[in-house]
Chains A and B, each alone.
Chain A
Amino acid sequence: AQSVAQPEDQVNVAEGNPLTVKCTYSVSGNPYLFWYVQYPNRGLQFLLKYITGDNLVKGSYGFEAEFNKSQTSFHLKKPSALVSDSALYFCAVRDIRDDKIIFGKGTRLHILP
């Protein structure tokens, strides 16, 4: 069965600094990988996805993610953090065999002014 691990419950970054939110996955076959963001009292919003092709994918709000097949990782990155990036971030993997979409436990990102 597929699984997703987000090893950090919380990440603190100073505004203007680069940020990384980590994600590793386990899935049979080729992975479909996603990042979502959740703001307080809201549903999740799609940020970006990796399906195939270039290992660096770009998404909404200046976020990007790097797919690394050998390390089975899909880390979320942003070159310069904004206070408004503070939110809960979820990594997810879709198993194309049964189309289940499984989420990690989430990482709370705090951007400090």
Chain B
Amino acid sequence: DADVTQTPRNRITKTGKRIMLECSQTKGHDRMYWYRQDPGLGLRLIYYSFDVKDINKGEISDGYSVSRQAQAKFSLSLESAIPNQTALYFCATSDPGLGNTGELFFGEGSRLTVL
């Protein structure tokens, strides 16, 4: 089983709909991240969380919200989806504890298409 699991893997929706992308991890890491990938733009950080009570905005948080329901779960919501939110979304975890330098462990991605 994957250590970082994203659901759904693929989703097509319409403009104005609310969408939630979910991420769960079995690595026991405190830190979780949401990125979006667009061709030619690389990965851009949307939100990141250091624990259940600590959530931070990234480079492009407008139009998105997140919820850290537990250490293992971090959800990304689009309250009213728009076509330019069509992208590949990645969840990632890290554990920058002693001896660990914070490299990221990624899920397989959620491809979202907004029509």
Binding site for B on A (CB under 8 A): 6, 9, 32, 34, 36, 41-46, 49, 51, 90, 92, 94, 98-106
Cβ contact within 8 Å between A99 and B42: no
Binding site for A on B (CB under 8 A): 4, 31, 33, 35, 40-45, 48, 50, 56, 58-59, 90, 92, 94, 96, 101-109
Cβ contact within 8 Å between B42 and A101: no
Interface of B is mostly: strand
Q: Select the residue from B33, B45, B104, B106 with max chain A CB neighbours within 10 A.
A: B104
Report the nearest A residue to B50, measured CB to CB.
Answer: A99
Report if A44-B41 is in contact (Cβ < 8 Å); known contacts: A99-B50, A100-B48. Answer: no
Contact residues in A for B58 (Cβ distance below 8 Å)? 100
Cβ contact within 8 Å between B104 and A46: yes
CB distance from A7 to the nearest CB of B (A): 13
